[in-house]
Every structure is written in structure tokens, then in C-alpha cells.
Amino acid sequence: MNPARRLGFIIAGITFLADQALKWLVMGPLALPERLQIDLVPFFRLTWAENRGVSLGMFTAESDAGRWSLVALTALISIGVVVWMLREKARGDILALGLVLGGALGNIVDRVRFGYVADYADLHFGEFRPFMIFNLADAAISIGVLIVLARSLLSREKAADQPAGPASES
């Protein structure tokens, strides 16, 4: 395995472990499920939320069958990310995919263990909330996807700016 892929999988592992450690902290020692909210600074608090759906709470699983269907769907997506990481040649994309994989695995473990994804991060500016309540795994997935998209768009623009090869003569 080349060093970039190894680093991508290390990033996935670190992301997964950090996500699970933070969830343990908020659910255990900080007792956030019982306290519901802990103010940290004027624009950020810990707020307990159980996300039974996927991104933005869509496709809420109301039954065990729904829960396990979401586990299966997200596991298939994670397998797709692993395959993509193994085929990808661009180091930046591999590292970004590592963030996506680590975050996805963290949320899958939650859904298997609890039946929901534990969310707790509540960024707000007064009444304005730029995001729904999220967790480290969600942030890693979002950042990884944004990096892949930005790199894809920038590399296409760069390729479009490159002059074509020598003109063929007829």
C-alpha cells in the first residue's frame, strides 16, 4: 500500500476514534443526555440530539427495519469510499476520503449501538444556526466532501486552462 493510502486510512482511524471518544465524553462524564444543554461560549453549546435519520435528519428510521436499512445503506457507501480510496491516485483526495470514511464509520457504530446517531455540537449566532446540531463525524464527512469537490472543480478549471496539444496537420 502506498504512503498516501496508508495515511488516508490512518486519518480514517483517527477520525473514528476521536468521534467515538467525544461521544463517550458527552454521553458519559458530561451526562449530556440528562442535562440536554451545556453552554460553552456565547456562540457554541453542547445540545443533545438523537438523529434517527441521515444527513439533515432526512430519511428518518422509525422502525428497526428502517434502522438496519440505514446501517446497510451507509455501510455500502463506506465500502464505496474504501474502493475509491484504493483506486484514487491524488493524495489530497485520498486524505479527504479518509475523513469521509472515518466519519461514516463513527456514525454507523452509533446507529448499530444506540439506534440513532448521537449529535451534540450546536453552533449558533443568536437565533441564527448555520448548521443543524452535529458531531465530529458529521464535520469530518462534510469537510472531506468539500475538499474532494473543491479539488475536482479546481483541477477541471486548471485542465481547461491548459493549452491543447500540438495541432495536427492535415
Residues serving a catalytic function are 119, 138
Cα 133 to Cα 122: distance, rounded to the nearest angstrom: 5
Cβ contact 20:12 at 8 Å: no
CA–chain centroid gap for 102, Å, is 7
Cβ contact 58:74 at 8 Å: no
Cβ contact 151:93 at 8 Å: yes
Q: What is the three-class DSSP state of 1? A: coil
List beta partners, residue 50. Answer: 118
Other CB atoms within 10 A of residue 105 CB? 22
Q: In what order do the strands lie in the sheet with 44-51?
A: 37-41, 44-51, 117-123
